[in-house]
Structures are given as C-alpha cells and as structure tokens.
Amino acid sequence: MAVEVLLMDNVADLGAEGDVVKVAEGYARNCLFPQRLAAPVTTGMRRRLARLREQRQREGVAREKEANALAETLAKDSYTIPVKVGENEQLYGSVTASDIADELARNGHAIDKKWIDLPAPIRELGVYDVKVIIPPSSVAAVIKIWIVEE
C-alpha cells in the first residue's frame, strides 16, 4: 500500500526537499522516517510546507534582484589585467578564470572563479568579452577584459 510523505531532504530518484510523494509504506517506515528524510503528511505539515514555499519564493526573488544588481555593476566597468610578454607579444603563460576572479576581487567584487564562463585560457593581448554567470539564478553578465603588457 502506498503512503504520502513529505520529503525533508533531497532523496535520489525520489524527489527534492519539500515534495510530497507516494512511496511504499514499508520504505517510508523503515528507511525514510528513521533517517529523517521524510515525514508523514498531515494538515499541520501541509501548512508548514505552504509557509516554507512562500518563504523560499520571497528569498528567491530577493536573490534574483541581488544577482541582477551585481550583473549590472559588473557590466558597467572594464577590467585590465597586466601580463608579462615576450617576443612578438607572446604571453608568458595564460590568463585563466582564476586571474579574472582575482582582478574582480581587487575591484571589490567577490566573484567565484567557477562563475566565470571562459571556454579556454586567454593566450594573447587584446580586449575580450567574458561571461559571468551568477548563481543560483543563472543571471549572466558580460564583462570587458583588457589583457595588456605589464
């Protein structure tokens, strides 16, 4: 017999936290409830779930606004990264996402290098448009990077 349970945590192949799913009674009793991965669905639990969803939606909207503001701020400026060059303007090494994140940090933007979408390291002098994807909302900003001789 199937029973409805409220997932209290993400469960692989079953659902995400906050989902109401039907599972076998034995699975719920022997696995999900003892590990506190799920709780029985009651009227009080449904109200709690509704409040939790509203709160998460408000937080999501706030995070989206913050991400959009950060994207606008990043896109307004251009950033210069001085590098050592050799003959024929060949770079010693390359400019990576980590170097770009460090430059953004020097300009007051705490950006994780994982947020920077750089398909390949930059190996030549010039001006580059680099995409920065701001999680969790996936808002993207295109920033201008100047790679110049030191």
User: What are the structural domains of the chain?
Assistant: 2-62 (3.40.5.10), 66-149 (3.10.430.100)
Global pTM value: 0.68
Helix locations, the chain, DSSP H:
25-27, 43-76, 97-106
Rounded distance, CA 112 to CA 135, Å? 10
Percent helix / strand / coil, the chain, rounded to 5? 40, 35, 25
- Give residue-wise pLDDT tens across range 18-29: 888 999 999 999
- Give residue-wise pLDDT tens across range 51-101: 888 898 899 899 999 989 989 998 898 999 999 998 888 888 899 999 999
